[in-house]
Amino acid sequence: MPGNEQSVQFSYAKTDGDKLIHIGAAIRNGKYLCPGCHEPMIPVLGEHKAKHFRHHKAVCSYESYLHQAAKMAIYHRLLNEDTVTLTLARVAQCKSPKADLFAGFHEPCNVFIPARYNLKTLFNQVELEHHDPETGLKPDVLLTNTNSKAKCYLEIYVTHPCSVEKISSGIPILEFHVTSEADITALISCELSVEETDLTHYNFKPVDRVVDNCLDECKNALVGIDIWSISPNGRLQKHTQKYKDFEHTEVSTSCAWPKALPSSLQLGRLRDMLQQADPAGVHANCLNCVFASNWDDGFLNCNKKHARVPYTEAKLCAQYRPLS
């Protein structure tokens, strides 16, 4: 989280106009109040100590101060700024045509991508510590839209997390965990996200997104895909590429599939490929023999000879019986 204020307490105070001010903007003779206890605070602006606000007389709970200051920070931001960005994680489902190369052997790739919202577009009214008349609950900050029934609760968590009652209401809730001055600074200046603020959200699920292009963070990116062909003399040829290196329609699923495909399935796929490449059966090939089974990287079991043979054995084999 940004900021270097973890070692400084009471960096914020309220002005006479009930606005939150940072010690960096304070003036020596200004009048300031504590956001927590509402008692006077004095700006300490010396050169030798870190600048901060000091209570004039009262002894204030630091937890109460953090809670109230954080509420004011997010409230005034939503009240005064045109754009307040919320970023949540959205599941992106890959529907790339090249996923067909997996032949059902690998699950399609789902990754998390950012879902960004402008809270000021979603909600046009912001209220501080206002009861929700529909639920009877009082969030720290209530966001509503006067043109719809949309609403959202913003909660500040210092020592007490969001109540079960609020969560079970079904209302979307954004809960910010605040433990230091730096967390308040983040609420004022940073994108509202898990990465930049300590954010937990409830009842706020972005709709999954379907994409038709391979995702940059594809979990299958390094899967090896074998691409097969047959030479003019009938020999099989194979080269392997990583899935991420394919263009979407570069090869046909009839001649390309995962390197790790089980041998029994590879045998069937190779036979289908040979049938398309050599429909007249010009080239004798053990793959097309009724006695062949258990393909293993160029070798098969010959159930007639009871031996392991190379697939090219058929060219000189008197027992060769092509599949019908």
* pLDDT tens for each residue of the chain, 324 residues long: 444 444 468 999 999 888 999 999 999 889 999 999 999 999 999 877 789 999 988 778 999 999 999 999 999 999 999 999 999 998 888 888 888 888 777 777 777 888 999 999 999 999 999 999 999 999 999 999 999 989 999 999 999 999 999 999 999 999 999 999 999 999 999 999 999 999 999 998 888 777 777 767 788 888 899 999 999 999 999 999 998 888 766 778 889 999 888 888 899 999 999 999 999 889 999 999 999 999 999 999 999 999 999 999 999 999 999 997
The pLDDT, as a whole number, for residue 3 is: 41
Contact 59, 174 (CB under 8 A): no
Identify which of 51, 121, 61, 136 has the alpha carbon closest to the alpha carbon of residue 85. Answer: 121
Phi, psi values for residue 41, rounded to 5°? -125, 150
pLDDT in tens, 270-303: 999 999 999 988 999 999 999 999 999 999 999 9
Strands 292-296 and 20-22: unpaired
**What whole-number distance in Å separates Cα of residue 313 and Cα of residue 52?**
87
Query: Using an 8 Å Cβ cutoff, are 65 and 34 in contact?
Result: yes
Residue-wise pLDDT tens digits, 203-221: 988 887 777 777 677 888 8
Tokens of 208: 């999954």
pLDDT of residue 2: 44
Cα atoms in the Cβ-side hemisphere of radius 13 Å centred on 35 = 26
Stated pTM of the model: 0.69
Contact by Cβ (8 Å): 258, 223: yes
CB 56 within 8 A of CB 42: yes
User: What is the rounded distance in angstroms from the CA atom of residue 300 to the CA atom of residue 307?
Assistant: 8
What pLDDT score was predicted for residue 253?
Answer: 85
In the chain, domain spans = 12-80, 85-211, 224-316
